Amino acid sequence: MSFVCNHNNKGARHVTTPDNGFAKITNRELGLRRQLTSGQMSMIAIGGAIGTGLFMGSAYAIGYAGPSVLVSYAIGALITLLLMGCLAEMTVAHSTSGSFGAYAEFYVSPLAGFLVRYAYWAAIVLAVGAEVTAVAMYMKYWFANVPEWVWIVSFSSVLIVLNAISVKTFGTFEYWFSTIKISAIVGFIILAVYVVFGSGNPEYGVQNYTAHGGFFPNGLSGMWIAVIVSIFSYLSVEMIAVAAGEAADPEQAVKKAFRATIVRLVVFYLLTLALMLAIVPWTQAGQTQSPFVTVMQTIGIPGATGVMNFVILIAALSAMNSQLYITTRMMFSLSRAGFAPKSMGALSKSGIPLNALLLSSSGIALATLLNVVYPESSFTLMMAISMFGAIFTWFMIFLTHFFFRRYRKRHGGPKLSFELRWFPCSTLLGLVLMGAVMITTYFTEALKMTLVFGVPFLVILSAVYYAFFRKGADKASSNALA
């Protein structure tokens, strides 16, 4: 390990800068192949934010907020962009697959790194369990008589194999999955713009924003609850920081992905929702089926349901593909940090942590089995822990960035090529908003189980850490800063 030496009359003293202090964590995660291109990274970033949350989840958000869902998603986009800024800055400084878990370990505490990685790993494993059952439901549209387990096994096997071949294979398929999703949204926007502004039909237009109970039909509380739903729609943008650990040029790829995400989030989410609500009154769009399907049925597009079902299927497969990738890297990072069996950190000849992939896949299988056998109680538990893990991770990313900046100010280090503006206000704003989102879940009937199950889950993780890992983690931490 290298040091910066400051000399004075009393002799030399060694000062560890942030970069060489973090080098121990970076070195222990070596071995993964840097094969993701800048273009793939950009598509992974925006593709991660465009999933079933937009195509299906937006219906629930509209149901809570009405037309003010535009404000809800704008607030959600602000939080997301602040988060991306924090992650981009830390990733430019340290590109490693442990990402926000490794940053929390070094800049906050080993316990924080342990909790973030395990909470996030559990959240994504349980979330993909729900995705794979959704995929089986979508396939029933075309093959009503085929048992759901056939599709669950088939699609899971294919995606596991794709992730096992190489990171380049994962990047290629995720690129094309994202391309299909983006193309569908661009096509929808073009069609919707024509319908609203070119068709001459007086039923379509901005008057629908206030025609059914006003812009805030359920008040400010309804608008704020929809912010929570929007956060779940934006989830997975954070995977760009994990993927940077296998990017060919991580610094440029992360900066390019951040800029692209800023524009595309505004265009794809806010513009899409604005056009959607101009065509279909929110009382119709905020139903159980995808509002995209509702809009296309209202316009009278033949085969609309089939087309959107295909797009939503691709979105779910894309989410599964990304979630398999990110859970594998989180378990790999936990292993290399000494928080999981060493075998989870072993790499194949192509640089893939196969054991970590198989463990994450078995978790998906367990989540799917529980979902089928005990659909009511198990699904509530899985989704509550999943939602809590995701919200907790975002909250910790903002907190870690605050400590990251404070550490660099105290210990020095080269100026970064990317820095989030208006620190500390920007970071603290994101931290406060995510804290408010977490607290609000308890007072929202449909989301109350998030904290009821999530807090005990965090307590159990903490107990496991103090019982089995504290001494080793504290020793490793002191060696890193020695």
Answer for the pair 368, 152: CB distance below 8 angstroms, yes or no: yes
Is residue 482 very low, low, confident or very high in pLDDT (cuts 50, 70, 90)?
very low
Residue 306 is predicted with a pLDDT of 83
- Most confident option among 6-20, 196-210, 434-448: 434-448
Q: Is the pLDDT of residue 9 over 50?
A: no
User: pTM for the complete prediction?
Assistant: 0.85
How high does pLDDT run on average in the chain?
A: 80
Answer for the pair 75, 418: CB distance below 8 angstroms, yes or no: no
Question: 188-191: long-range contacts (C-beta < 8 A, 24 or more apart)?
Answer: 188/272, 188/275, 188/292, 188/295, 189/267, 189/271, 189/272, 189/275, 191/299, 191/301
* Percent of the chain's residues with pLDDT above 70: 85
Nearest to 325 by CA among 44, 104, 2: 44
Is residue 287 very low, low, confident or very high in pLDDT (cuts 50, 70, 90)?
low
Least confident segment among 40-44, 56-60, 141-145, 205-209: 40-44
What CATH number is attached to the domain comprising 135? 1.20.1740.10
Q: Domain of 419?
A: 35-476
Q: Domain count for the chain, please give it.
A: 1
Q: Is the pLDDT of residue 46 over 70?
A: no
pLDDT digit string (tens) for 331-364? Answer: 888 888 888 888 888 888 888 888 889 888 877 7
pLDDT digit string (tens) for 133-163? Answer: 778 778 888 888 888 778 888 888 888 898 8
Examine residue 391 and state whether it is found in any structural domain, yes or no.
Answer: yes
Q: Looking up tokens 């406060």, which residue turns up?
A: 432
Residue 288 is predicted with a pLDDT of 59
Q: Is the pLDDT of residue 246 over 50?
A: yes
Answer for the pair 223, 68: CB distance below 8 angstroms, yes or no: yes
Nearest to 356 by CA among 368, 339, 369, 372: 339
If one compares 382 and 118, the residue with the highest pLDDT of the two is 118
Examine residue 330 and state whether it is found in any structural domain, yes or no.
Answer: yes
Least confident segment among 27-36, 275-284, 423-432: 27-36
Residue 397 is predicted with a pLDDT of 94
Nearest to 341 by CA among 350, 352, 353: 353
Is residue 10 very low, low, confident or very high in pLDDT (cuts 50, 70, 90)?
very low
Residue 243 is predicted with a pLDDT of 74
Is residue 481 very low, low, confident or very high in pLDDT (cuts 50, 70, 90)?
very low
Residue 13 is predicted with a pLDDT of 38
Q: Is the pLDDT of residue 256 over 60?
A: yes
Examine residue 199 and state whether it is found in any structural domain, yes or no.
Answer: yes
How large is the C-alpha radius of gyration of the chain? 23
Residue 428 is predicted with a pLDDT of 95
Examine residue 2 and state whether it is found in any structural domain, yes or no.
Answer: no
Is residue 380 very low, low, confident or very high in pLDDT (cuts 50, 70, 90)?
low
Region 5-26: what's the mean pLDDT? Answer: 52
Segments of 92-217 assigned E as strands: none
Region 9-37: what's the mean pLDDT? Answer: 61
Residue 403 is predicted with a pLDDT of 93
Examine residue 21 and state whether it is found in any structural domain, yes or no.
Answer: no
Rounded Cα distance, 259 and 16, in Å: 32
Assign residue 416 a region: left if phi > 0, alpha if psi is -120 to 50, beta otherwise? Answer: beta
Residue 383 is predicted with a pLDDT of 67
Region 316-341: what's the mean pLDDT? Answer: 85
Region 400-423: what's the mean pLDDT? Answer: 84
- Most confident option among 268-277, 312-321, 370-379, 452-461: 452-461
Q: Is the pLDDT of residue 224 over 90?
A: yes
Is residue 475 very low, low, confident or very high in pLDDT (cuts 50, 70, 90)?
low
Q: Is the pLDDT of residue 1 over 60?
A: no
If one compares 467 and 8, the residue with the highest pLDDT of the two is 467
DSSP helix, strand, coil percent of the chain (3-state; round to 5): 75, 5, 20
Examine residue 28 and state whether it is found in any structural domain, yes or no.
Answer: no
If one compares 478 and 326, the residue with the highest pLDDT of the two is 326
Examine residue 12 and state whether it is found in any structural domain, yes or no.
Answer: no
CB atoms within 10 A of CB 453: 19
